[in-house]
Amino acid sequence: MDSHARAKPLLAAASGSSEVQEGAGPLLRNTPAGPGRTPGISVVIPFHADRLPLLERLLDSLREAGARHGGPWECIVVDDSGPTVEPAVRALVAASGARYLRGPVPAGPKRNAGAAAARHDLVLFLDSDCIAAPGLLSAHVECLRAAGESVGGALGMVEFNGGRSLTWDIAERSGTWRCFAWAADFKRVLWGPAANFAVRASAFAAVGGFDEGLSVRAGGEDVALGVRMTEAGHPLITCREALVWHDREHTTVGAMLRRFYRYGKGEGYDCAEFPRRTTWKVSPAQAGLALAVLLAVLLAVLPVGGWAWRVGAPLLTVAATAGVDLWQWRRGMRAFRRRARPGGQEARPGALRSLLLDLACVPFGWANVAGLTAQALATGRPALAFRRFQFVTFDDFELRLPPVRR
């Protein structure tokens, strides 16, 4: 039995106790998933040792949001810090009036542990490097109460702030971060990032929460959660009034490439888990790499041309692959913008900078494909390397209508 199957009955269990049992397994801290929970909203924050000042900032903003909300709420910080940092985290959490919970390293299992320990019937997941807007809690509660019991969760708005960097501009240009602003464009979504994501505890428990095995292997468990909730009859809506501000990370190109590689591994898992939501596709990167390797082998064994030709031909193939990838990328992004923002305007860089940013996106795309391929090979299903998960389909996403111009 895999970790997700084990998590499901544990999350759904109703022990009737809301006490935190430290030292137990990550999902052994259970409270009732349904009637035993009281009306209100529980905020769950997964935390790691290197973000203590950011956590303090978030807790301060939540106190203001809680005061404005006026209704019942609580905050649970799930921490895996080492012994040198843990006392400071405990002290900060206690001073803020929040609850402290020890948890595992990956964020998905941390969120499961926090949701299992939550006292209220609504659970809001936030990242520790966010700042809550004053109306955050009220907006999520009002949105889910008005939506009816069938709705499983609500995706809030995430706006990025802080200094920009070239690495961030390139990653942002790739479109990967668009999901953080889906609440502005869509009324209904298939999935959403867990940086600002509220769920009904009962619906969350019914599908087993976040897949813990996926959290350890690759990340991206928020996609699988959204698909499971939607297919179980608990659709996800958006709440653009529920706002958090998220810091831009100052990271290196290498770190960003590794992140895209992990995203690719997560996509490989999603393709295996939900094959009906995939489509066949051989990426230019895969085709170009195969052709470059074939050329290199042939030119090495055949008496054709000199060393310049033998080295240059595969390199030219890789360059041509990048060109095809760039053309395909730009065409796809233009099509998405036309469909996702009909009649709207979007700020874009100048033509030359736009071209250069799109060209710089190509290695990130290749890292993503490499992760997908690695996941396919690791699971013994190489055919999955040639499938792509349909993250956005206009059957599962309902657009907000643009304002009518008179």
342-397 pLDDT, tens digit per residue, is 444 444 555 666 666 767 777 888 888 889 888 888 889 988 888 989 998 888 99
Q: How many CB atoms lie within 10 A of CB 141?
A: 24
* Whether residue 280 has pLDDT greater than 60: yes
pLDDT for 213 equals 73
Q: Measure the CA–CA gap between 20 and 2, rounded to whole angstroms.
A: 25
What value does the mean pLDDT take over residues 273-302?
69
Q: Measure the CA–CA gap between 208 and 192, rounded to whole angstroms.
A: 17
Nearest to 128 by CA among 35, 44, 3: 44
pLDDT for 6 equals 37
Task: Give the residue carrying structure tokens 């643009």.
Answer: 402
β-bridge pairing 120-126 and 38-47: parallel
* Whether residue 158 has pLDDT greater than 70: yes
Of the candidate ranges 177-191, 231-245, 328-342, the one whose mean pLDDT is the lowest:
328-342
* Whether residue 234 has pLDDT greater than 90: yes
**3-class SS at 31?**
coil
Task: Tell me the per-residue pLDDT of 16-42, one tens digit each, with 9 for 90 and over.
Answer: 333 333 322 333 233 344 456 899 999
pLDDT for 351 equals 63
* Whether residue 292 has pLDDT greater than 80: no
- Rounding to the nearest 10 degrees, give the CA dihedral for residues 105, 107, 109, 115: 130
Q: Measure the CA–CA gap between 107 and 48, rounded to whole angstroms.
A: 9
Q: Measure the CA–CA gap between 41 and 200, rounded to whole angstroms.
A: 9
Backbone angles phi, psi at 121, to 5 degrees: -85, -10
Q: Measure the CA–CA gap between 219 and 110, rounded to whole angstroms.
A: 13
Q: Measure the CA–CA gap between 390 and 387, rounded to whole angstroms.
A: 10
Q: Measure the CA–CA gap between 73 and 41, rounded to whole angstroms.
A: 5
Average pLDDT of the chain? Answer: 79
pLDDT for 303 equals 59
How is 201-263 classified by DSSP, letter by letter? Answer: HHHHHHTTSS-HHHHHHT--HHHHHHHHHHHTT--EEEEEEEEEEEEPP---HHHHHHHHHHH
Q: Is 323 exposed, middle or buried (0-12, 13-18, 19+ CB in 10 A)?
A: middle
Q: Which residues contact residue 74 at a Cβ distance below 8 angstroms, ignoring those fewer than 6 apart?
A: 40, 42, 43, 98, 99, 118, 119, 120
Q: What's the chain's length in residues?
A: 406
Task: Tell me the per-residue pLDDT of 169-208, one tens digit each, with 9 for 90 and over.
Answer: 877 777 788 899 999 999 999 999 999 999 999 999 999 9
Is 170 or 335 the better-scoring residue by pLDDT? 170
Rg (CA), the chain: 23
Q: Is 14 exposed, middle or buried (0-12, 13-18, 19+ CB in 10 A)?
A: middle
DSSP 178: G
β-partners of residue 389 are: 278
Task: Give the residue carrying structure tokens 């490989």.
Answer: 268
DSSP 400: P
> Which tokens sit at 325?
């990838």
> Which tokens sit at 396?
């599962």
Nearest to 31 by CA among 112, 130, 128: 112
pLDDT for 355 equals 64
Best-predicted range by mean pLDDT (133-147, 264-278, 281-295)? 133-147
Query: What percent of the chain is predicted at pLDDT more than 90?
Result: 47
pLDDT for 288 equals 58
Instruction: Estimate the crossing angle of helix 136-147 against helix 52-69, to 10 degrees.
Output: 60
Return the H-helix or E-strand segment holding 76.
strand 73-79
Model pTM score: 0.79
**Domains delineated in the chain:** 3-251 (3.90.550.10), 279-339+350-390 (no CATH)
β-partners of residue 156 are: 239
pLDDT for 20 equals 37
> Which tokens sit at 41?
């909203």
Of the candidate ranges 50-64, 107-121, 131-145, 284-298, the one whose mean pLDDT is the lowest:
284-298
* Whether residue 259 has pLDDT greater than 80: yes
Query: Taking a C-beta distance cutoff of 8 angstroms, is the pair 362, 329 a contact?
Result: yes
pLDDT for 302 equals 59
What value does the mean pLDDT take over residues 320-342?
52
